[in-house]
Structure 1
């Protein structure tokens, strides 16, 4: 059984900290989107207004399977609206600096879970009352790993390991379940003609991928140079995905270290099976809430304590040392340094309530609203609720 949650039942709005005015070099916009990811939405805006990549800046990445509101800035951008099938863009003022991750403090969520039986609804509601108290392990959730194809190989890992051709092949040619028909066709062409660049160029439509293949026609083995011509925002996503995967593994190992087997439920995430703690004692909850885990990067300084030992062992199992975690040969992307909380708690949690489902007769809905800090995934809360209700996953 799957508990149903339509995209419009999953609403997200960024909570900006900047106050737009009537002066400044950057125009600030409110972007409302549905059925499209943030990079694709920004690319559509750039094409429509013929903008170079570096003039558009945004804060966070918002899921395509939701109705989302976020903000972005354009250097000397047009002060007019843009309305397309999946996006609405409205100018709301001017700011002195480009909008970025530090320009918002978190996100406000509104979620409706549908098609619940009375028993399922009661169990989900009980879990909803426990979440503000117990917190949620702060894993990067599945939408972080949309760039990972059926091979399970990470583009960022291949690059860091020095296999530049493999990294390029994964980025340009491996099929992906999120590919649009045109992208799937171009990837199929590349898989067929990989290494036969003139034939691949002849078969491809005019596109960003074709421009990279054009470079390979003249530089047939310069995979490093070809990868550097992949859009910067995509390359940044590739390396963030691998770093996030490593961090998830570190958190999983830490949870295993501080819990007993009966206090863990293993969940199948997109790139790994990860333990989620249940029935924790107060001291365990407190320890998880106090812990911050290092972001895997050579620039992140770690010592010799228990957390550092866990982090180094996770990376060693990847065949690397902590000091190897850096992006060589590319000057415009890097692995973030710092740390991340092992647990998050929802703020401004409204009273969750049950209603009759207007789409599924005789069934119930569970509605809730809350705020999360920047970087925390509301879909982890949805998983907690659906597990409690007896379902396997949420269906978008």
Structure 2
């Protein structure tokens, strides 16, 4: 099995409800990219246009390893674009308000999975029938958990437990697969000289890590204040990773309590296995399709009578935390977001076509097309359909 054998094997397009205006306080732009995360691509925009990050607004994160299209706004943004390094920014006009996820109608996908045997394509087609009937658990997928350490530690869990030094150290020193050379050098310095802030400062180039260390030189034990100086978009990612993990475990607990083990399959995430219903009893289907679970946070409304409450309480107990601890006192930003998420989705316009593989002689390929609600993961569909999404995450 080969996923994304060529760049055009995975295409995702954000479908927006926002129409460009001739006048307005915000510039509206279309971003097309390949090989970049959304934050990294938008940071390039900030550097090119000499903008503070706070002037940019966007609706969601798009995969690094895909050809993606999405939209963003810039307060008082210029009427120009960018075309470099697999990033194309097109100026579309003006907008009356900053862009956010509420303007995303859906995401449209086209995926090609190659180098398949006949039995694999047949099995996928059979699973597609079940997916159309039962849907797919709306878990957050591995792209959400890039900041989790190899040992499974979450930066935000350290913060919730009040250990800001451990959270800051993991954020500044943990190695990730896609670190560029400069990031690797910076992290090695910080690991070697941690708590020797003057030495760290003398060896670091200007940048976000250096500004955090500058603060620690004069406030050597204020790790809470230092964490507050991490780039805002990174702080938000760290918190959303942990919040997403707690939500996933809550949904998993609900599924295990309602669906018999013989009807459950399993998918593997880097944070552990999660159950997937292969079938759902007919009396349970209304509850299944109507289930919405709040994102765990100090600002959520607890409902002891809700069907998700026992599962969420069990997850919090296992983590050794309370919702009140998720307030992160003393930090204005970042903070855990408030909201809820549907437990299941059914892909719209879902088609699956098996054909001869034009790039791998004698093998078969599957071409998948579908639309998903904002915030849902195409890789989750692929995992449920084929048992893996390796190469897409």
Classify the TM-score, shorter chain: over 0.9
Instruction: Kindly report which structure 2 residues correspond to 1:23-34, keeping only aligned pairs within 5 A, or say none.
Output: 23-34=23-34
**Is the aligned partner of 1:283 residue 2:283?**
yes
| Deviation string, structure 1 residues 228-250 (Cα, Å, up to 9, x no partner) | 11001110111111100000000
Which residue of the partner structure matches residue 324 of structure 2?
323
Judge conservation of contact 2:10–2:109 (CA < 8 Å) in 1. Answer: yes
Which residue of the partner structure matches residue 4 of structure 1?
3
Judge conservation of contact 1:312–1:322 (CA < 8 Å) in 2. Answer: no
Judge conservation of contact 2:251–2:308 (CA < 8 Å) in 1. Answer: no
> Displacement of 1:258 after TM fit?
0.5
> Displacement of 1:308 after TM fit?
1.3
Judge conservation of contact 2:228–2:333 (CA < 8 Å) in 1. Answer: no
> Displacement of 1:393 after TM fit?
4.2
> Displacement of 1:338 after TM fit?
2.8
Judge conservation of contact 2:266–2:274 (CA < 8 Å) in 1. Answer: yes
Which residue of the partner structure matches residue 273 of structure 2?
273
CA distance in 1, matches of 2:282, 2:180: 47
Judge conservation of contact 2:267–2:384 (CA < 8 Å) in 1. Answer: no
CA distance in 2, matches of 1:329, 1:86: 40
CA distance in 2, matches of 1:395, 1:316: 35
> Displacement of 1:32 after TM fit?
0.2
User: TM-score, normalized by length of structure 1?
Assistant: 0.95
For structure 1, which segment, 17-26 or 127-136, has the greater mean C-alpha deviation from structure 2 after superposition?
A: 127-136
Which residue of the partner structure matches residue 151 of structure 2?
151
Which residue of the partner structure matches residue 343 of structure 2?
342
CA distance in 2, matches of 1:367, 1:266: 23
Secondary structure in structure 1 of the residue aligned to 2:114: strand
**Is the aligned partner of 1:44 residue 2:40?**
no
Secondary structure in structure 2 of the residue aligned to 1:302: coil
CA distance in 2, matches of 1:143, 1:287: 28
Instruction: Kindly report which structure 2 residues correspond to 1:1-396, keeping only aligned pairs within 5 A, or say none.
Output: 2-6=1-5, 7-305=7-305, 306-349=307-350, 351-387=351-387, 392-396=388-392
Secondary structure in structure 1 of the residue aligned to 2:362: coil
Judge conservation of contact 1:125–1:366 (CA < 8 Å) in 2. Answer: no
Secondary structure in structure 1 of the residue aligned to 2:90: strand
Judge conservation of contact 1:148–1:176 (CA < 8 Å) in 2. Answer: no
CA distance in 2, matches of 1:394, 1:45: 30
Any unmatched runs of 5+ in structure 1? none
Secondary structure in structure 2 of the residue aligned to 1:348: strand
For structure 1, which segment, 118-127 or 378-387, has the greater mean C-alpha deviation from structure 2 after superposition?
A: 118-127
> Displacement of 1:145 after TM fit?
0.7
**Taking structure 1 as reference, are residues 3 and 279 closer, same or farther at Cα in structure 2, changes over 3 Å only?**
farther
For structure 1, which segment, 337-346 or 227-236, has the greater mean C-alpha deviation from structure 2 after superposition?
A: 337-346
Any unmatched runs of 5+ in structure 2? none
Secondary structure in structure 1 of the residue aligned to 2:303: coil
For structure 1, which segment, 87-96 or 260-269, has the greater mean C-alpha deviation from structure 2 after superposition?
A: 260-269
Secondary structure in structure 1 of the residue aligned to 2:122: helix
| Deviation string, structure 1 residues 339-360 (Cα, Å, up to 9, x no partner) | 21111111122x3212221211
Judge conservation of contact 1:3–1:386 (CA < 8 Å) in 2. Answer: no
> Displacement of 1:272 after TM fit?
2.3
**Taking structure 1 as reference, are residues 348 and 266 closer, same or farther at Cα in structure 2, changes over 3 Å only?**
closer
> Displacement of 1:49 after TM fit?
0.8
> What is the aligned-residue RMSD (CA, Å)?
1.5
CA distance in 1, matches of 2:363, 2:330: 56
**Taking structure 1 as reference, are residues 285 and 14 closer, same or farther at Cα in structure 2, changes over 3 Å only?**
same
CA distance in 2, matches of 1:393, 1:368: 13
CA distance in 2, matches of 1:338, 1:51: 30
CA distance in 2, matches of 1:62, 1:4: 17
> Displacement of 1:381 after TM fit?
0.6
Secondary structure in structure 1 of the residue aligned to 2:327: coil
